Structure 1
Amino acid sequence: MVILWMKKELEALDHASMERRLRIHIPIPESPGYVMHGGRALLDLSSNDYLGLAQHPAIIEAMRAALLKEGVGAGASRLVTGNRQPYAQLEKALAAWQNCDAALVFANGYIANVGVISALVGRGDVVFSDQLNHASIVDGIILSRAEHARYRHNDMEHLRALLHKFRDKRRKLIVTDAVFSMDGDQARLHDLIALKREFNALLMVDEAHSGGVYGPRGEGLTFALGVKNDVDIHMGTLSKSFGIYGAYVCGSETLIRWLMNKARPLIYSTALPPSLIAGAVQALKLIQTEHWRRKRLFAASEFFRSSLCEAGFNIGNGDSAIVPLVLGHNHKALQFSSALENEGIAAIAIRPPTVPEGTARIRFSLSAAHSLEELADAVTKICRLGLQLGVLES
């Protein structure tokens, strides 16, 4: 009986062009920015490896050395015996990088957001969340059992109205992505800070897609905008610009001590393998010193974005390495993605519920590993397919 309803639901998803399937893509170490799929090399325009560090030999060597010294796994949670020396080294370096008192590493960004939010608020509290925030933020709010006050994307007047409505709640937390993962635009951080001060709320910023990219040493958008000291909880990931896996939270010593005692995903999860942490230490050094990677990424993003905009595509208003080509219908997004693959480009269709209904898209994601020549060739192919598939007018 259970299988029958599952099959019916899956058939409905398939009919709506919404069923998801796993596909194997194999990295090509000698050709950064490319992956193998179906026996062909494809230009990878869907990875979050923004700085092109995922295949960096220095990171691989750091992980290899730690693997030989520390073993395969941590063997326990961090609060038992899983807290190895590389953790202390990484958290000290992260705190210095972010100019914070302390830092705490989590297994991944999803777990970090769920753990932090559910540790800070509960019944009787309220969380104000941008409508386009990542699913991990939404799930963290649900698990916290706090009131969820969702404001329209970057609509500060709507947020102000909600803050006023819930002004008498015990604790108030505003949470936002710094750069929104599916649209590539920025949060209005200056306005959010003004509102958090006015209504005595905490502010948490998720720098998953901006950490390593913005700021003089890749510290993130809060540094680039000069508002770092006005953010109470600073979260970022090790799985995008760092090219590895994991997440971190930076803030006051009190905040980090609180999370060590209250963040259930940290307390009840086995620690990440020490080799991953050692790799992240090396990645952080590269992020802070190899500034050319950010310069190259921004040049690539500006060229790619402006080229698609001039061609007439609907790509939104961001300035980041995330360039959404909004197509609307799920089938059209799948059709465009398949056509791109035939042209040698890996660019995956993003459909609801990841994005709102009617906004299915190709989410292009650029990397410092891409050359302008490669991107120019990709733009030519994208424009030709846009005409063939009726996305652009001839």
Structure 2
Amino acid sequence: MAAERKSDPHDVFAWIDDSTRRRDRAGLTRRIQVRGPRPNVIDFGGNDYLGLTRHPDVVRAVADASLTWGAGSTGSRLATGTTEVHAELERELAEFSGAEAALVFSSGYLANLGAVTVLARPGTLIASDAFNHASLIDGYRLSGADVADVEHADPQALERVLAAREQQRAVAVTESVFSVDGDLVDLGAVLDVCRRHGAGLLVDDAHGFGVIGAKGEGAVAAAGLAGHPDVVTTITLSKSLGAQGGAVIGPRRVIDHVMNMARSFLFDTGLAPASAAGALAALRVLRAEPDRPARTRAVAVALAERLAAAGLPVTEAQAAVVSVRGPSAAQTAQWAQDCLDDGLKVACFRPPSVPDRFSRIRLTSRADLTEAEIDRAIDVVVKHSPW
């Protein structure tokens, strides 16, 4: 870096060019893909698990709220950014989840930041699953808490970490369904460990809410943890509910504390009323059509079983996510591009989103997918496989 500065002392960002070249050589450069109206592309790459983004009731609610409230919320939630729609959404999210209260944020990322930074502070130990999402990890850094990585989905490893801690306060943090491979954590076992050691539990249920449980009430409720005084849950409104935003759900005293202390809530413009209305309408569709989560899970199982039968290294389908490992980052990226060129959109994960040698494509199921679309997806993925 010193040599770069010496060659042109006025080019303060010269180091970016070198970083870009290294990224290009490793095949890790990302490009924004602008999505247009492509009727011939089948989407297996998004997170609209219940197929509600374009549901007529949801779209109509978004349009009506825009006409009533305008394009934005006009201010932070504690200033002018809370409408009747926000309050109603929070009431119904809490009721559906079996919790005392909920607080809506403008994104799931900010909900995680808010929850972590309020529940943990300097002198607190965060026992974090090694595969947790970046939004949680960024929250740890902002909190100033001590962090111990815990082996993935291993309650016994969590037990060892909590038993050896020196800090008075501790909180275990885990996702319920992990976003890359779609594996489901035994939340009951995790809570048992937390209770033995006086630790709180924060669960990111972004990929479980709307998919897991008899009615899609989420992995936390399905594990029997709904309303537990030691459990706090975060969700997104942009996956199963097909809208935008996030929420923290849990005991009322915790939610009130988050509302008063979370900087990502206090100093952020509130979620647009239209997005809140869309999420509320989607939640009501889910309650009226409780078979949607089961359909989503059935599609995922069909995808996993058929891809495995074709000889591909595929994960078990426990929710809505099915991942297929690729040989290398470059080959995996090309695999995803070949699928898109052939009319199938899949997600691609490569470093730094996943560790080295763990690149994969990810297919996500939806409740509204047809048998013909599933057949087409299987054919395209197998056809372009680099294995």
Q: What TM-score comes out, normalization by structure 1 length?
A: 0.92
The whole-number CA distance in structure 2 between the counterparts of 1:205 and 1:144 is 17
Q: Aligned equivalents of 1:299 and 1:183: distance in 2?
A: 17
| In 2: Cα distance, 1:362 partner to 1:309 partner | 14
Name segments (4+ residues, structure 1) moved above 6 Å. none
Instruction: Provide the rounded CA distance (Å) in 1 between the counterparts of 2:16 and 2:224.
Output: 50
SS of residue in 2 equivalent to 1:349: strand
The whole-number CA distance in structure 2 between the counterparts of 1:146 and 1:271 is 27
Q: 1:180 aligns with which of 167, 178, 191?
A: 178
Contact 2:304 2:315 in 1 (8 A): no
What is the DSSP-based 3-state SS (H/G/I as helix, E as strand, rest coil) of the residue aligned with 1:149? strand
Question: Does the Cα contact within 8 Å between 1:73 and 1:274 map onto a contact in 2?
Answer: yes
Secondary structure of residue in 2 paired with 1:313: coil
Counterpart code for 2:193: L
Residue number among 203, 206, 209 corresponding to 2:207 in the alignment: 209
> Paired residue for 1:255?
254
Kindly provide the amino acid, as one letter, of the partner of residue 31 in structure 2. R
Q: Distance in 2 between matches of 1:385 and 1:19?
A: 21
Matched residue, 1:237: 236
Matched residue, 2:359: 360
Is 1:224 aligned to 2:222, yes or no? yes
Q: Provide, for residues 259-305 of structure 1, a one-character-per-residue CA deviation record: whole Å limited to 9, x for no partner.
A: 11110110001111111111111111011111232232122111111
1:169 aligns with 2:164: no
TM-score (norm 2): 0.94
| Alpha-carbon distance, 1:211 to partner | 0.4
State how far apart, in whole Å, the 1-side matches of 2:102 and 2:381 are: 42
Q: Tell which deviates more after alignment, 217-226 or 6-15.
A: 217-226
Quick check: 1:300–1:371 contact (8 Å CA) kept in 2?
A: no
The Cα of 1:45 is off from its aligned counterpart by 1.1
CA-to-aligned-CA distance 1:142-178 (integer Å, 9 cap, x gap): 1101011111111222222111121x31310111101
Aligned to 1:19: 29
Q: How does 1:107-186 map to 2 (within 5 A)?
A: 107-166=106-165, 168-186=166-184
Structure 2 counterparts to residues 28-47 of structure 1, below 5 A: 36=38, 41-47=40-46
> 1:77, 1:269 within 8 Å by CA — same for their partners in 2?
yes
Aligned to 2:3: none
Q: 1:364, 1:3 → 2: CA distance?
A: 38
Alpha-carbon separation, structure 1, partners of 2:31 and 2:287: 37
Instruction: Output the CA distance in 2 between the equivalents of 1:342 and 1:72.
Output: 35
1:8 corresponds, among 1, 14, 18, to 18
CA deviation after TM superposition for structure 1 residue 318, in Å: 3.9
Q: Which runs of 5+ in 1 are unaligned?
A: 28-35
2:156, 2:213 → 1: CA distance?
28
Give yes or no for contact 2:215–2:291 (8 Å, CA) kept in 1.
no
Q: How does 1:177-326 map to 2 (within 5 A)?
A: 177-230=175-228, 232-326=231-325
- How many pairs are equivalent? 376
Measured against aligned partners, the alpha-carbon deviations of 1:61-110 in whole angstroms (never above 9, x if no partner) come to 11111111112211111111211111111111111111221110011111
8 Å Cα contact 2:75-2:269 kept in structure 1: yes
Describe the superposition over 1:175-196 as per-residue Cα deviations: whole angstroms up to 9, x where unpaired: 1101000010011212101100
Question: How far, CA to CA, are the matches of 1:270 and 1:85 in structure 2?
Answer: 16
Deviates more, 1:47-56 or 1:93-102: 93-102
In structure 2, what is the equivalent of residue 333 of structure 1? 332
Q: Distance in 1 between matches of 2:333 and 2:68?
A: 46
Tell me the distance in 1 between the aligned counterparts of 2:79 and 2:377.
Answer: 50
CA shift, 1:343, in A, is 1.9
